[in-house]
Structure 1
Amino acid sequence: MIIFANGELVPAEKAKVSAIDHGFLYGIGLFETMRVYNNRIFLWSEHYKRLMAGLDALRISATWTEQELLDSINRTLVANRLTDAYVRLSITGGQEGVGLVGVEYANPSLFVYVKPVAPVAEPPKGKQLVSVSIPRQTAEGAFRFKSHNYLNNALAKLEVGPDPKVEGLFLTQDGYVCEGIVSNVFWVRNGKLYTPSVATGLLNGITRQHVLTLAEELNLPWEEGLFLLSSLTAAEEAFLTNSVQEIIPVNQVDGVPLAQDYGPITKALRLAYRRSVALYK
């Protein structure tokens, strides 16, 4: 893999992060995970806006324009000879030494990682959703950032193990359904779509937001709120979303099979999603 590291394209084994970078020392950094289809970064503007909002909140100076960030991604894709890919763009606080700072991070670091992705499976393979014992920790700021502070997720992944067919499910301290380890959660009961509220402390995924927009376009009734696990286990169908895997059906929750492995609303939204990818410019 060739990595874009602070303006240079270098082999992964030669890419370096400073030992005094606050992304390394304190987790001061944000990242966006994106999917590239035929040289197009899907929902780039939405990812960029979320990134900028997070940088502003963390007082990390955005020293790159939107076009410069886009050029950095495209240069990395070309260097790796990829036209369909997973992209991770990371911006850290930069080299600020040992000790927290009380001022703006004026010299952030930028890294871009890319790797190939498998073609979208048709029909998609369902996943098992398993509740983890560790609760979803509350957001450290006013809302959850897509930040380098990933210990909660890492502990949950250690608990569920490496099986790609299994996704861990976070509940809040109060027992409400929150989100998957690397996904947002949706389910259907009596023809209505449900998803946890951002009040649970979930990451408001770009794909999550796009799916809700698609639901509006399809005139599907939906509700976000605080829901106990029993609401999810009683669902007729359920699915997960993230930017790389798109819409993934769920076939069981905590060992209980759902009524439908790949239900009609999941199919309708997945078809609409695939259509939006095809039409995206």
Structure 2
Amino acid sequence: MNEKDAVVSVFDHGFLYGIGLFETFAVRENGIFLLKNHIKRLEDSLEAVGIDYKVSKEEVYEVTSALLEKNGMVEGYVRWNVSAGIRGVGLFNERYDKPQTVVYVKELPEPPTEKKAVSLKLPRNSPEGYERFKSHHYMNNVLAKQELDDPTAEGIFFTKAGFVAEGIVSNLFWRKASCVYTPSLETGILNGVTRRYVIQMLNECGYELKEGLFTKKDLDEADEIFVTNAIQGVVPVSQYDQRILINRDVSSLIAKEYKKRVVEGRE
């Protein structure tokens, strides 16, 4: 459908109250990496917020293939969006049984080889429910993005209690000596699909990994830092605040192995 003809009702509760979820992933010539994980997180999250929705891998491939063909593209950045659907004005305590799916595609950007990161003054908001969803509630992320002087940098959130959380659009890892660290889900971060896979990779490679509650001091003393998401993969941080980071022992190895597995489609 042409974007000028694509509309969502003003009575859709995704618009009125932010009741909706989405997944972003890359469609490449050899497929969609970790697609079953994206589908499971989407379906589990929608169930948790009371939206009836199921989708198969076959349907995802059918829709994304058609979108790519219509746009004359071989690969693409996809946002698979499920909005709660049309209800009247007012809060609704029953299940949403007629959600609306909107799938967007755009050019797949070239992943960066490195990235600057800066500490945010704006604290990470707490999850709306018992865990953080990849939801339409994106005000905290948008305001954080507006805080950045350099729009290409990644902003690093800290919780109101002062614990390291996550990036605006990424999960966060760092190494100190021989141990790799990442914030616990207890901080209220998104349980990223790529985050979980990188944790698996680190374990397979024999690295000691600690998930927990860490402070800015812990991050300031890191030997190396890297961020992860489904579109960019694993990206080493070249500068954190005013500190230049040269060491990339773990991040370079994991980034290279991750890219290899994406190309091979090996999950």
Instruction: Give the TM-score category using the shorter length.
Output: over 0.9
Q: TM-score, normalised by structure 2?
A: 0.95
SS in 2 for 1:13: coil
Pair 1:53 & 2:53 matched: no
Alpha-carbon distance, 1:157 to partner: 0.5
Alpha-carbon distance, 1:175 to partner: 0.6
Alpha-carbon distance, 1:37 to partner: 1.7
Pair 1:167 & 2:154 matched: yes
Give the aligned partner of residue 72 of structure 2.
Answer: 81
Q: 1:109 to 1:38 in 2, by over 3 A?
A: same
Give the aligned partner of residue 144 of structure 2.
Answer: 156
Indicate if the aligned counterparts of 1:188 and 1:238 stay in contact, CA closer than 8 A. yes
Question: Of 169, 175, 180, which residue of structure 1 is paired with 2:167?
Answer: 180
Indicate if the aligned counterparts of 1:235 and 1:259 stay in contact, CA closer than 8 A. no
Structure 2: distance between partners of 1:80 and 1:31? 21
Question: Of 167, 174, 189, which residue of structure 2 is paired with 1:202?
Answer: 189
Indicate if the aligned counterparts of 2:26 and 2:76 stay in contact, CA closer than 8 A. yes
Indicate if the aligned counterparts of 2:35 and 2:57 stay in contact, CA closer than 8 A. no
Structure 1: distance between partners of 2:263 and 2:57? 23
Structure 1 unaligned residues grouped into runs of 5+? 1-9
Which residue identity does 2:255 align to in structure 1?
R
Give the aligned partner of residue 260 of structure 2.
Answer: 275
Indicate if the aligned counterparts of 1:207 and 1:243 stay in contact, CA closer than 8 A. yes
Question: Of 242, 248, 253, which residue of structure 1 is paired with 2:229?
Answer: 242
SS in 1 for 2:137: coil
User: RMSD of the TM alignment (CA)?
Assistant: 1.5
Aligned residues: 266
The percent of aligned pairs where both chains have the same amino acid is 41
Pair 1:16 & 2:16 matched: no
Alpha-carbon distance, 1:233 to partner: 1.2
Give the aligned partner of residue 133 of structure 2.
Answer: 145
Alpha-carbon distance, 1:51 to partner: 0.3
Which residue identity does 1:12 align to in structure 2?
E
Structure 1: distance between partners of 2:190 and 2:263? 26
Indicate if the aligned counterparts of 1:186 and 1:240 stay in contact, CA closer than 8 A. yes
Which residue identity does 1:15 align to in structure 2?
A
Alpha-carbon distance, 1:27 to partner: 0.5
More displaced 10-residue stretch of structure 1: 79-88 or 96-105: 79-88
Structure 2: distance between partners of 1:101 and 1:34? 31
Alpha-carbon distance, 1:259 to partner: 4.6
Indicate if the aligned counterparts of 1:39 and 1:83 stay in contact, CA closer than 8 A. no
Deviation per residue, 1:109-144 (Å, 9 max, x gap): 0000111123445xx1x2221111111111111100
Indicate if the aligned counterparts of 1:234 and 1:258 stay in contact, CA closer than 8 A. no
Give the aligned partner of residue 211 of structure 1.
Answer: 198
Structure 1: distance between partners of 2:66 and 2:236? 34
Alpha-carbon distance, 1:64 to partner: 4.4
Give the aligned partner of residue 25 of structure 1.
Answer: 16
Structure 1: distance between partners of 2:59 and 2:234? 30
More displaced 10-residue stretch of structure 1: 11-20 or 199-208: 11-20
Q: 1:242 to 1:179 in 2, by over 3 A?
A: same
Structure 2: distance between partners of 1:188 and 1:156? 25
